[in-house]
Chains A and B, each alone.
Chain A
Amino acid sequence: MDHQEILDNIQEKVIKGKIKEIEPLCVDALQQGLSAMEILEGGLLMAMQRVAEAWKNGKAFIPEVLITARAMNIGLAVLEPQLAKADRKHRGKVVIGTVLDDLHDIGKNLIGLMLKSRGFEIVDLGVNVKPEKFVEAIKEHQPPILCMSALLTTSMVHFRKVIEALEEAGLREDLLICVGGAPVTQAYANQVKADVYTPDAVSLADLLEERFS
């Protein structure tokens, strides 16, 4: 097998979620002279991007994305020690979280996954995150991007509260604030003075990748 065939094979197995085969395949690929970086980009991340593309076109759905993510993370664990930090394309930090009074994390996790696969570093604050906690995290990590998620009509009101708290703390200006979740619309995003809204995780990843290339 040439190098491209090895990578194609890893992609296939990651997409199909053949989790038992991922680790030996990655080890084998390293022995065949591929770099950890090549395997990551040409194998694991490419697999995620293919699934993301299919998701965007309606050909795949959340289960396929989660299956691929699980396999990707197994591969990543093999490669991580070999990945010299400087080698990795690093687009910057993103703080993500689901707002107060909302325990839903699927959407937020998908955002994390998509952005991670595009080379962003993710700081995940979890669910039911209070405005103060968002402010603290922005102070601490100084990220260029904040992504907030809400699944409930009743919890998305907290977008505004977080944004106001950030303004008050003087942290708003250099921050790109993205909001999303099932009940959120462009109009609502405008109303709460968020910078970016996209209807799905993949579009957000596309948009941020372009802006932060």
Chain B
Amino acid sequence: MLIEKGKNLFEEIRREDSLSALCNGRGICGKCKVKTDISLPVTEAERNHLSQLQINQNIRLACQHTVLEEDVHVALIDKENILVLGLDRGSVPIRTVTADLLLAIDLGTTTVVMVLIDGHSGEVILEHKFTNPQRTYGADVLSRIEVTLAGNDSCHRLIRQEIRKFVAELVTRFQPNSMTIGITGNTTMTHLWLNADVAPLVQIPYRPSVSHTLIRSIRSELGIGVDGEIIVYPPIAAYLGSDILAGISLLDLFKKKENILLIDLGTNGEIVLSCNGELSATSTAAGPAFEGVNMSSGCGAVAGAIDHFFLSQGKLTYTTIQEAAPVGICGSGYIDLIGCLLEGPLQTSGYLEDEVIVVEHPKISLTQKDVREFQLAKAAIRSGMELCVERANLTFDQIDALMIAGGFGKHINVDAAIRIGLIPEACRDKTVLIGNSSLAGCVSWLTREKDIPSHGDIERIQVIELATSARWLELFSEHMLFEGGNL
């Protein structure tokens, strides 16, 4: 591909081809590698991400060359390096062939998401998701632990049953000789999968009972006649699971020189700060408001969910998923809606005089109670971020990139998230939405693209407990207000 003199290499390639750009062209992720026919000057970011050999081979990061001095022929390498969204890419690189089929499973509290990959070509064969059948035992992990501790093993059996059924179908359909299944999830989910003791998860000092990678045969675990293994990846702590570890691995946070903040927006909002490879992490009981649970008109990201709101000439308009008739509001919709209403009837304290009706039939609205639920969730995430950054003696100005992961993470409007104070103003131009990093990280482990962090590395992650921090309470209370960039 020829890029003309004066053009922006990164933008041109991005227009033409699916370039990996996890950091959106900021020289942080090192993913947008290209090979050029002439030797371009080498920047500091390139020295961080490329070996001398690569530099000698005229391999560069596309984002580093915004104005070309002369015409350049480029070829993309590392083309589909990263599965940003779970599944918006056709294939992933296979570093080591381990089996005919690779199945990555992200065991979410609310939704279980899976992707099946050809173990030889790296081609993404299919994706699948279903609502976690454990939901009948409560929307949150603690209810499920409670049920399990009472001697009822339904949570374990339900998830096994559902996965076994799906894997059996895959085996019948594709007739593989071998298969590798990788499982990530929050610590409770992986414990329930394993039928491991969940009591230590809820007894101070809150510890997982399984903290290593567990590998078992598919035959023995699922009773399905195919060679291969099920790998259950290790958690970091009781409330920091292999899901967030997968994100850490995917972004190479142990190796990064920059200050990077990774947030996984979910029921347990997990937060990781990497400063020059030193990691600290916490999880916040954000609650399921971002997933539309406990909100009067809330719903998941289903067809008909209002995913975005806009103010046009003072009037509230919206879009729905798949342009279906509106059925409710999902997390990204709430962020927009509250952002829009702050221009009108909603006070920064969160006080809303009258319920705001968005749709008459079926009634879809925002109530005072919804706002309060949302304030708690938002404050939990933001105060957790603040505390991590403060403990590292940093300010948000010094954060090089804010990575937002999570099922709906990809769809949020960053401006609205700043307006309501979920994201700090200082991160406006540094925020990158990376989608489901748990699943993408799980895939990268299965393909051997990334290594599972060693037990020593995992133990080096400093886990911050929010509830015992007096400072956190101040931050939590402060950030319940919708002050946005004004704080």
Report which A residues bind B (CB closer than 8 A): 58-64, 66-67, 100-101, 103-106, 127-128, 151-155, 157, 183
Contacts and interface: CB of A to CB of B under 8 A. Distances in A.
18 contacts: A58-B351, A58-B369, A58-B372, A60-B351, A63-B480, A64-B349, A67-B477, A100-B204, A101-B202, A103-B204, A103-B465, A103-B467, A127-B467, A153-B140, A153-B142, A153-B143, A155-B202, A183-B142
A62 B465 contact: no
Contacts of B349: 60-61, 63-64
A93 B480 CA distance: 32
A62 B146 contact: no
A183 B149 CA distance: 17
A154 B375 contact: no
A63 B351 contact: no
- Closest 4 A/B residue pairs (Cβ): A103-B467, A154-B202, A153-B142, A58-B368
Contacts of B204: 100-101, 103, 128
Interface residues of B, number: 27
B379 to A, nearest CB: 8
A106 B466 CA distance: 12
Interface of B: 138, 140, 142-143, 145-146, 149, 202-204, 285, 349-351, 368-369, 372, 375, 465, 467-468, 473, 476-478, 480-481
Given A103-B468, A152-B142, A152-B202, A61 B473 contact: no
A128 B203 CA distance: 10
Nearest to B145: A154
Contacts of A152: 142, 202
A68 B349 CA distance: 14
Contact of B477 (A63, A105, A128, A151): A63
B53 to A, nearest CB: 51
A61 B350 contact: yes
Contacts of B465: 103
Nearest to B351: A59
Given A151-B285, A153-B143, 12 more contacts: A58-B351, A58-B369, A61-B350, A63-B480, A66-B477, A103-B204, A103-B465, A104-B467, A106-B473, A154-B145, A157-B146, A183-B142
A101 B202 CA distance: 7
Contacts of B369: 58
A110 B37 CA distance: 68
A64 B350 CA distance: 10
Nearest to A106: B473
Nearest to B368: A58
A127 B469 CA distance: 12
A168 B70 CA distance: 88
A25 B124 CA distance: 70
A103 B467 CA distance: 6
Contacts of B202: 101, 152, 154-155
A69 to B, nearest CB: 10
Contacts of B481: 63
